[in-house]
Every structure is written in structure tokens, then in C-alpha cells.
Amino acid sequence: MIDLKVDFSNILGFVDKNKVDALQAELNLSHQKVLNKTGEGNDFLGWVDLPESLEESLLQSIEKDAARISKIADIFVVIGIGGSYLGARAVNEALSHQFSHFLRSEKRQHPHIVFAGNNLSEDYLADLIDVLDQKDYAMAVISKSGTTTEPAIAFRILREHIEKKYGKEEARNRIIAITDKEKGVLKKLSLDEGYSSYVVPDDIGGRYSVLTPVGLLPIAVAGFDIRKMILGAKAMRKVCIANAAISSNPAASYAAARTALYRNGKTTEIMVGYQPSLVFFVEWWKQLYGESEGKQNRGIFPAGVTFTADLHSMGQYIQQGLRILFETVISVEKPRRYLSVPMDKENLDGLNFTAGKRISEVNRQAELGTLLAHVDGGVPNIIVNVPVIDENIIGQLVYFFEFACALSGYMLEVNPFDQPGVEAYKKNMFALLGKPGYEKQAAELKARL
């Protein structure tokens, strides 16, 4: 059973219902392309059946490694960028105690997850090393290609650090590599060094890899139940693959709503969360949709905000700026914790009208008030309703957004599984850094700087 519901009734003042319904034929075609593997990028559709095809031996091995790491490490450093990073961070931050790093270590049974290799900031890495000097740690290096500069540099530095700290032999126990099954320097290194290693399947691109070891290992190390997450994804898959009906397939419904809006001039989609714990889920979604759709001078620009914080910043633009926006709200019915507003005899702040109400009830009314204000201001809203944030729902959300992304990409007539545009900055960076073979480009670039 799935618990996620898409409600696009709040876009209907902006696009006619029949315009949305008219997309059914295109959706059916896109759906067939995904299931029959007949569309562009069809060699990257391994994620479609992944929830059903994950082998028990793989899950056991991940759980075993996670338990082993929990015993020897206070910190687990996950080195990776883009799709080799954002899924794990999205899920861990959505599910974690938000201040776990301040809790005393005996209150934490699992390592604290930190990320590296997702930037080229010297300060970030040096600050991280200050902490790793003092704490026991282990790490995973994740790169499908094994050649991405940011994680490769971070790994070079942290590998040297971990080997100095524990000695080469013990360092081997503390490093896990997740990469291609045979290609790339990382594969060679992990074989040479005898690191525990996992494979990123050939037919799954980074941003669709949350349910591979890329996401599952760090999520398991953080102490979350990867099996519940997979169950959620399985349930969502069943509904998504059954048919492309806008009325029954939530991914089709979301893809239809956002495509109808895009074709009506709403070219920026803002993903809205009302929970700070969802900030990185929104970042993951931005990458998934930005890299999948933004090509051939087309595509919805994916942006993200966290309310109510951003109602005091971006809220102004959303209410009254350029009318090219629509919002997709992840609406969470129930919080995990309990806290209500206390009664105050003095009532100096005048807030006794909220006394006894749960914070989540105040948040809910902020959400409803914002929905009405933004729709009145010219910003259509799609609502993705979920009952709570837990492993099962996260599994549903991940699969739902992946499936909808593939459908939307095919409706946009782009290949949703490649990212050719990412190469441009890399080539320039290599040339400017003096990589052998880039001499001509380096001279041209330097003349322009």
C-alpha cells in the first residue's frame, strides 16, 4: 500500500483540467518508453526494477558492514558528489535526530555521518580533519566513474590521514569503496588494497542510485532500516508501473501537472518543505530534476525553499515577483515528536490563542495560509501529501520522484538519464589546472581571463 497522494487541485485556476487530462496520451507513450526500454537513455533504466531485484546477500553484506563500522567509528565520512552523495544525505537528514552531533556519544548507537568530496573548499576539508584527528572514524568513497575530481582529491587527502592515524592495515578495515564493477582507478585501488567494496550497477546513473549501495550503505551505517525503505519503494513501484493513468498513478499525476504548468509559462518549480530535516531531500530532488531535464535549452528550473524560514526571505518574491513560478509542497501530516505551546499567565507576547496547540498544528495553519496566499498571488501549488517521514515513506518518495522524472523527461523530449552539460566546467578546470592534453584549451581560456 502507498500512503503518498498527489493533489493538483490548486493548479486548476491556472491550467484547465482538460489541458492536464489531454496529456494522458503523451504520458502513456512515456510510460511505455520507461517500461519497454525504448526511449533515449534506455541503458540507464536499471532503477525501475531495482526495489524488486536487490539481492538478499547484498542487503546482508551492507548490514554486516554497517554493524562493523558502528563498532569502530564515531564518524563515518561519505566521500562523493552529485548522485554519489545527495541521496544518502537526503535520507539521513530526513530521518536523523537533527542535533545528534551534540548528543553524548552513549546516546548514539551509530556513527555520525559527515560528507566530503562534494566541494573543493580547502577550509571545509581542513575543518573536517580537525575533527577526524580527535575522533574514531571510517569512510566510504563513492564514485561510479572513479574519476570525479572532487571526491578523488578528498579521498587522496583522507586516505593519507586515515593511514597515518591507524596504520595501513587497520585503515583498510575502515575504508569502503563503492564504484563501477570493473572500470576506473577506484576499482583498481580497492582491489589492490583489499577494501570492502560494492558495485554501482552499469544501468543506474548517479541520481537514480539511492537504492543501490551508494545510498543504502551510508543509510544503514546511520542506523536506519534499509529494508523498510525498500518496502516503501516496492509499493510505489507497483503503482507506478501498473499504468500511466493520471487518476491512479501519482507519478503520472505529478508529471502531468508540472508539464501542463510548464507549457503554460510556469518555468520554475519551487520544491517546498515545512521541515528543516527535508532541506537535503529538496537538494536531492533539485539534482534529479535539474540534471535530468535541463538540456537542449529546455526544462523546468528546479528551486527549493524551506518554510516558514524562507517565508521571511524568498516568500516576498514568491508572492509578488515574476509570475513564472509554481510550487510543489511536500506536506507532512504528522511530526515524529511531541511539543505544544505552553499557556503563559502574563500573556505578554499575546500568544495565548496558540496555547495547548502542538507546534505541528501551528505549522499546518502556516502551510494552509501560505497555500492560499500564494495561489491568490498567482503561484499554482501541487501538493505531495505524506502521513509522516519514516523509512517506508522515504522509499516511496524516492521511487515516486524518480519515476515521475523519467515520465516528465520523456514528455519534454529529452534524455532524462544523461548530463552532457556537466563536462563543460570540468574541461575548463582541467585546462586551467594544467592537466596534460589540455594545453591548447588552456591557452585560449587564459587569453579570455
Q: Which residues bind ligand PA5 (CB under 6 A)?
A: 81-84, 143-145, 148, 151, 205-207, 291, 419
Cβ neighbours of residue 188 closer than 8 Å, sequence gap 6 or more: none
Give the C-alpha separation, 83 to 419, whole Å. 11
Catalytic site residue from 269, 283, 291, 293: 291
Catalytic site residue from 97, 426, 427, 446: 426
CA distances from 381 to 100, 261, 268, 364 (A): 34, 10, 12, 15
Q: Which residue is nearest to ligand PA5 (CB)?
A: 206
Find the shortest distance in angstroms from Cβ 203 to ligand PA5: 12
Answer whether 305's CB lies under 8 Å from 320's CB. Answer: no
Catalytic site residue from 71, 107, 312, 440: 312
Give the C-alpha separation, 364 to 355, whole Å. 15
Q: Which is nearer to ligand PA5, 378 or 416 (CB)?
A: 416
Q: Which is nearer to ligand PA5, 44 or 274 (CB)?
A: 44
Find the shortest distance in angstroms from Cβ 369 to ligand PA5: 37
Q: Which is nearer to ligand PA5, 41 or 395 (CB)?
A: 41
Find the shortest distance in angstroms from Cβ 44 to ligand PA5: 9
Answer whether 175's CB lies under 8 Å from 195's CB. Answer: yes
291 a catalytic residue: yes
Question: What's the chain's Rg over C-alpha atoms?
Answer: 23
Task: Please list the alpha-helical segments (H only) found in 222-304.
Answer: 226-242, 250-263, 279-293
Q: Which is nearer to ligand PA5, 205 or 250 (CB)?
A: 205
DSSP tally for the chain: helices H, then strands E: 18, 10
Q: Which is nearer to ligand PA5, 151 or 223 (CB)?
A: 151
Nearest of 240, 287, 246 to residue 403 by alpha carbon: 240
312 a catalytic residue: yes
Find the shortest distance in angstroms from Cβ 53 to ligand PA5: 20
182 a catalytic residue: no
Find the shortest distance in angstroms from Cβ 442 to ligand PA5: 23
The catalytic residue positions are: 291, 312, 426
